[in-house]
Chain A
Amino acid sequence: MTLLRTDGLTKQFGGLVAVDDVSFQVDRGETRAVIGPNGAGKSTLINCITGALEPTAGSVEFDENDITNLSPHETVQTGISKSFQTASIFPGMTVRENVEIAALAAEHGSFEFNFLKRLSGFSAVHETADQMMSAVGLLGDDDTEAGSLPYGDKRRLEIAIALASEPELLLMDEPTAGMSPDETADTVDLVERLQEELGLTILIVEHDMEIIFRIADRILVLNRGQVIADGTPEEVQESERVQEAYLGGVEL
């Protein structure tokens, strides 16, 4: 069953067509990968889905609702959250507070007049936060200031924040960028585990082909904004256009 569908999605920056007429689907429960050389338009595609960028043309549908023109916070409220390519956290706040703020948004929506209500009374928020911190293995660090975490932990916190929004679809833009091989392995395990435990649908942008072929159910390949292949890892691997695009680049 299709959870996310883009139709003719296009984003132009002046003369540059960063995303060019991209139509693809993400099925419920699958791990969908987007790959492509540098500058292929992967991040731009993600940004058009989240509402961070306004598409020049085309539409985005989530769970059979048109979400093309929603702002980012509205998109999150419909059930799509994103973990950032560079960890985007609240460095001066504790790990718990970082996660709680996302849990709070999932619990009470994008805005409430509750400024005289105690946060400590929102037990569902604290439970979600506990659950997500333990999912990424940060529960012991909940009182640590987020800014003082080691890099790998910051990235895991980033994922915990994205998860605490209780998404159906998790967008991950290069979750292992800048990680050591050990941290990368941990993160990949984490993604696989989350997928199972939380029944998530994942759309992941990743450069590391080994990871992609290990976790992806289907792969979308972009080059210069255009779809050049879309299918199972085996199908994509055999595609001539893909091999051409990557010639001299990453080995498949």
Chain B
Amino acid sequence: MTDREVATDGGAVAESGEPASASGGSALSRLRERDDFVVVASAAALIVFPFLLVDVLGIVGDVIGLSIGGYTGLPSLVLIYGIIVIGFNLLLGYTGLLSFGHAAFFGSAAYSAALFSQVVPSPLLMVVVGTLVATLLAWPIGFVSIRRSGVYFAVLTLTFGQALYFYALGPGSWLTNGDNGFSNIEADGLFLGALPFDAPLTPLPFLDSYTVMYGFAAVSMLVAVWVGNRIINSPYGLIFEALGENEERVEFVGLNVFRYKLMAFVISAVFAGVGGALFVIHEQYIHPTTGLYWIQSGDFVIMTVLGGTGGLVGPVFGAFVFEYVANVVSGVSLPAIGSIGSLWRFVLGAVFVTIVWVFPRGIYGAGEDLVAMLTDRSGGEGGGDTAAADGGERE
């Protein structure tokens, strides 16, 4: 994953370290265009993430007497959803298409990966097969849905998603095991089970959240970030954003709007497919409600908007907050109120409203504003606002 590999994707284009026009962008945004920088920065974050979430928060929780630390499997789950919403944001944040049916791709990948594990119990191949199925499914669904825009597009995707849900629950039970859920997944480790997913990555007993599963999810996340970063710095990044801003004009500069929207749709489905396959590997179980129900589709939207649609990785923060509330806050027992339990959706709602109200550009946008403020104060010139508004992802 270095700059060198660039030559393989097109050949003719000469790569130079410096963008062709030196006039645009800050040093920071130019850094962000560099794949190696983005991947290394993400890797650093992924290395400390479980430690902060599970170990540090766990200790803080012990001190204050509330169980606010994450459990061992949570970091992986956050990354899995994170991968999905990175792709979802290419569709929602950049291209401006709101899909309410992405559970279709998540769930179909999860089920096909689960089924494939019966034949070959290889997690890597499960991801490949799951992603392939999701991608194949995305072409016809996208082809039909993208002919309509706005609410009609959203409802069409929702309809397709729900059709799959009811199929998995009823007529497709012979494949999916219907309402009982699908649990005999045959892959519980890498290298034919030689490296079990719950095996620790470090000999240190307290870092038990660093499992083989986490490593698998983290590497997948790095690949997702790398690919995502390449996409937003490619012609597609510019075109997707332009589509979100003024579709008619894109058509009138001579670009095939339909095909680019379809590509945005399919690319986002690829990410959802990777996530779906990883999900079933992680959970060792899939049910129509977690896999295909429209609420799952809605949750992708919530995570993305919560995290912020302005940049590539913003939605990952949304996935984190979402899963943290769903899995940790729900287990917190408050002195006066008692256990939060299934009230976690109210907590999430409150968090969502607060963040979207105070920081309309989500958690990531708030972070960007903060950085812009700090750099402005330390002698940097103005213009921080413009750079922040377009996500600063391109030069």
Contacts and interface: CB of A to CB of B under 8 A. Distances in A.
Interface stretch (A18-26, A75-83, A194-202, A238-246): A75-83
Nearest to A97: B238
A123 B234 CA distance: 13
B55 interface: no
B10 A117 contact: yes
A118 B13 contact: yes
Given A126-B21, A144-B386, A92 B249 contact: no
A96 B13 contact: no
Contact of A101 (B234, B238, B390): B238
A233 interface: no
B249 to A, nearest CB: 5
A104 B20 CA distance: 14
Contacts of B9: 114, 116-117
Contact of A110 (B15, B234, B249, B256): B256
B2 interface: no
Nearest to B226: A116
Contacts, number: 156
Given A119-B237, A122-B235, A92 B245 contact: yes
Interface string A36-51: 0000000000000010
Interface in A73-107: 73, 76-77, 81-82, 84, 88-94, 96-97, 100-102, 104-106
A148 to B, nearest CB: 8
A130 interface: yes
A120 B19 contact: yes
A165 B23 contact: no
Contact of B254 (A52, A73, A88): A73
What bracket does the count of chain A residues touching chain B fall in? 35 or more
Interface in B336-395: 383, 386, 389-390, 394-395
A174 interface: no
B248 A116 contact: no
B241 interface: yes
Interface residues of B, number: 48
Given A117-B9, A121-B13, A108 B235 contact: yes
Interface of A: 50, 52, 71-73, 76-77, 81-82, 84, 88-94, 96-97, 100-102, 104-106, 108-112, 114-123, 126-127, 129-130, 142-145, 148, 161, 164-165
List the 8 closest pairs (A to B, CB-CB), nearest first: A76-B254, A121-B13, A120-B19, A105-B254, A102-B253, A115-B236, A90-B245, A110-B256
Given A118-B233, A119-B235, A126-B20, 17 more contacts: A81-B254, A93-B242, A96-B23, A100-B238, A101-B242, A101-B250, A104-B238, A106-B254, A115-B263, A115-B267, A118-B33, A122-B20, A127-B20, A142-B24, A143-B25, A164-B253, A165-B253
